[in-house]
RNA sequence: GCCGCUAUCGUCUAGGGGACUAGGACGCCGGAUUCUCAGUCCGGAAACCGGGGUUCGAAUCCCCGUAGCGGUACCA
């Protein structure tokens, strides 16, 4: 019979960890793992430990650690303990190693990789290597793996997965110099740090039996495991630079909002049963359950992220929007920028796209010859002169008044709206894409608008 | 090679023996909004990897293929 803990008990019993290795920037897959751990921890009031898996001293760097922390902060994923450097726990690892050596669960063996290969060639494929113990203190240390039986990973997502022990080598847990290896360090740390749930990438599933074996040898209770399906690029291959924004800092540079990225990443491998797509972070926390995560690998599709980001952008209060744009552009969030954001908000899908829409308010018109050639046809000069004249007395210089002042020109020149408004747009912005024309004129102000319209008219042949 | 995992529209997914004429979202295509672009609204095309079982009935359960992916380091 199973018993349930009272649900209103402060659940300080769950403890998760996100444990990246600082061998590069945090990419999207790592970010999703971090997010899922964070959501799982926040969902039931558990704790999140950030542990830096830096036992590979060759590839781990300070810069990468800094980059990971920076990415976590940008994503607004906080942690309760750490960052803890795994390398700095070397004495704990050494102690565990000592115990295993003393109890006979581990032994020294100086077989090289080639010797292991030779052993396998002799003993048949599918047989894990079993070494010969030596007293030589400079030999590497291997864990003694049972020759038979199986080790079962009770995965929260996949259910029980059994691995035959015989297929595993007596794997090396510490190098000749005494430094420990990943599968050993992880098992020891997870146990000693009281981790109750390990949520990580699928690539670790086959490693889990090794960690379970270490834990068993140590007499430690294992945590519960959940292995997330991997993320791939649009071509179905492993995510890489070629796939566009692959790291968290690239996502930021591309102008995505942290909240949108969290929403999108949450949906990559996990979904709700009622088809909800747009979710605030609070809702994500409330609804997320590790056990509901899917089993198959997902492909990162930037198009959907863009759409989602656009939705978040449009729903932001103007002040918040202006602040985000200012931060992204490295500008002051002043009144001028706020006004510019006001007319551009509904049109941009990323922060990066905002500048192209509002640039004309801060700098002289760009020179887009193609747009000019397409729009500034014969006879446009006089039209623009008339536009300037019509705009001159508009007071106050507001969108509705401007529209009212310009509308009569349509009949007077017998023009379709596009033939009147596009030239004005090109005149004041230099290009053919901008926020609404009346709003744009109003934001630019009468003086500058007239100046630009007249300057454009002068470039055109007179009537 | 050996050990594992996975398989629904192009993509993310819902579905867990009968409610499936397989639902939603992105993207795509068409239309509307007679200022561009975007947005918004309406409509459309688009999938159960293959083969065997089990069952009255299978997208759903089982087996075998196939494909993709992961692990197999004195990397993490």
The confidence score (pLDDT) of residue A93 equals: 95
- Strand B reaches within 7 A of the A162 CB: yes
A151 forms beta bridges with A163
Which positions of strand B lie within 7 Å of protein CB atoms? 1-8, 10-15, 23-27, 34-40, 68-76
| CA A463 to C1' B68, whole Å | 67
Are A366 and A348 a contacting pair, CB within 8 Å?
A: no
Confidence of residue A187 (pLDDT cuts 50, 70, 90): very high
ipTM, two decimals: 0.93
Nucleotide nearest to A298 (CA to C1'): B12
- Strand B reaches within 7 A of the A298 CB: yes
**What is the number of other CB atoms lying within 10 angstroms of the CB of residue A95?**
12
Nucleotide nearest to A294 (CA to C1'): B13
The confidence score (pLDDT) of residue A13 equals: 82
Say which DSSP state A127 is in. Answer: P
- Statement: residue A7 has pLDDT above 60: no
For A92, how many CA atoms within 13 A lie in the half-sphere containing its CB? 16
Active-site hit among A120, A237, A238, A241: A241
- Strand B reaches within 7 A of the A433 CB: yes
Token look-up 């959501």 returns A39
The confidence score (pLDDT) of residue A207 equals: 94
Task: Give the integer Cα–Cα distance in Å for A148 and A167.
Answer: 9
- Statement: residue A462 has pLDDT above 70: no
Are A433 and A368 a contacting pair, CB within 8 Å?
A: no
Q: What is the CA radius of gyration of chain A?
A: 31
| Nearest C-alpha neighbor of A356 from the set A439, A303, A429 | A429
- Strand B reaches within 7 A of the A123 CB: no
- Statement: residue A229 has pLDDT above 90: yes
Nucleotide nearest to A183 (CA to C1'): B76
pLDDT digits (tens, 9 = 90+) for A272-321: 888 889 999 999 999 999 999 999 999 998 999 999 999 999 999 999 99
Confidence of residue A395 (pLDDT cuts 50, 70, 90): confident
Mean pLDDT of chain A: 90
Q: What is the pTM of this model?
A: 0.91
| CA A6 to C1' B36, whole Å | 61
- Strand B reaches within 7 A of the A115 CB: no
- Statement: residue A44 has pLDDT above 90: no
Say which DSSP state A95 is in. Answer: H
Q: Is A241 a catalytic residue?
A: yes
Q: What DSSP element (H or E) covers A200?
A: strand A197-201
Task: Give the integer Cα–Cα distance in Å for A253 and A218.
Answer: 46
- Strand B reaches within 7 A of the A183 CB: yes
Q: Tell me the C-alpha to C-alpha distance, in Å, between residue A164 and each of A116, A202, A204, A227, A277.
A: 19, 19, 16, 19, 41
- Statement: residue A453 has pLDDT above 70: yes
| CA A339 to C1' B62, whole Å | 65
Task: Give the integer Cα–Cα distance in Å for A395 and A442.
Answer: 11
Q: Which residue is nearest to nucleotide B12 (CA to C1')?
A: A268
Extract the tokens encoding A190: 């997870």
Contacts of A116 (CB under 8 A, 6+ apart): A129, A169
- Strand B reaches within 7 A of the A414 CB: no
Residue A457 burial (CB < 10 Å; 0-12/13-18/19+)?
A: buried
Contacts of A180 (CB under 8 A, 6+ apart): A55, A90, A93, A94, A97, A173, A174, A188
- Strand B reaches within 7 A of the A354 CB: no
């Amino acid at each position: 019979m199973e018993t349930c803990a009272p649900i209103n008990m402060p659940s300080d019993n769950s403890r998760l960890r996100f444990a990246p290795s600082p061998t590069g920037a945090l990419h999207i897959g790592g970010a999703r793992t971090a997010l899922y751990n964070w959501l799982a921890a926040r969902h039931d009031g558990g704790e999140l430990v950030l542990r830096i898996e830096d036992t590979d001293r060759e590839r781990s760097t300070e810069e990468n650690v800094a980059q990971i922390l920076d990415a976590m902060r940008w994503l607004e994923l906080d942690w309760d303990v750490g960052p803890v450097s795994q390398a700095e726990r070397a004495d704990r690892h050494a102690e565990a190693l000592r115990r295993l050596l003393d109890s006979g669960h581990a032994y020294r063996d100086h077989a090289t990789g080639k010797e292991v290969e030779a052993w396998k060639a002799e003993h048949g494929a599918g047989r894990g290597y079993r070494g010969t113990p030596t007293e030589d203190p400079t030999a590497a240390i291997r864990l003694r793996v049972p020759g038979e039986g199986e080790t079962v990973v009770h995965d929260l997502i996949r259910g029980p997965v059994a691995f035959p022990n015989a297929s595993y080598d007596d794997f090396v847990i510490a190098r000749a110099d005494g430094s420990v290896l990943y599968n050993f360090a992880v098992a020891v740390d997870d146990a000693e740090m009281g981790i109750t749930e390990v949520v990580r990438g699928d690539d670790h599933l086959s490693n889990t039996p090794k960690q379970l074996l270490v834990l068993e040898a140590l007499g430690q209770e294992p945590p519960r495991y959940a292995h997330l399906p991997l993320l791939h690029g649009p071509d179905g291959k492993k995510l890489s630079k070629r796939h566009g924004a692959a790291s968290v800092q690239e996502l930021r540079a591309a102008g995505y909002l942290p909240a949108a990225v969290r929403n999108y990443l949450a949906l990559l491998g996990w979904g709700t049963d009622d088809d909800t797509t747009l979710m605030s972070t609070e809702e994500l926390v409330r609804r997320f359950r590790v056990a509901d995560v899917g089993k198959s690998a997902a492909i990162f599709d930037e198009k959907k992220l863009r759409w989602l980001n656009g939705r978040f952008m449009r729903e932001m209060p103007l002040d918040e929007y202006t602040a985000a744009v200012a931060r992204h552009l490295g500008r002051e969030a002043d009144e001028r920028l706020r006004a510019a954001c006001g007319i551009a908000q509904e049109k941009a899908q990323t922060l990066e796209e905002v500048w192209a829409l509002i640039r004309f308010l801060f700098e002289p018109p760009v020179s887009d010859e193609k747009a000019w050639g397409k729009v500034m046809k014969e006879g446009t000069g006089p039209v623009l002169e008339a536009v300037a004249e019509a705009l001159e007395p508009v007071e106050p210089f507001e969108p509705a008044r401007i529209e009212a002042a310009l509308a009569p020109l349509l009949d007077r020149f017998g023009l379709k709206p596009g033939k009147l408004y596009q030239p004005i747009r090109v005149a004041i912005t230099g290009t053919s894409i901008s926020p609404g024309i009346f709003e744009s004129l109003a934001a630019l102000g009468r003086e500058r608008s007239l100046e630009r319209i007249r300057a454009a008219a002068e470039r055109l042949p007179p009537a």
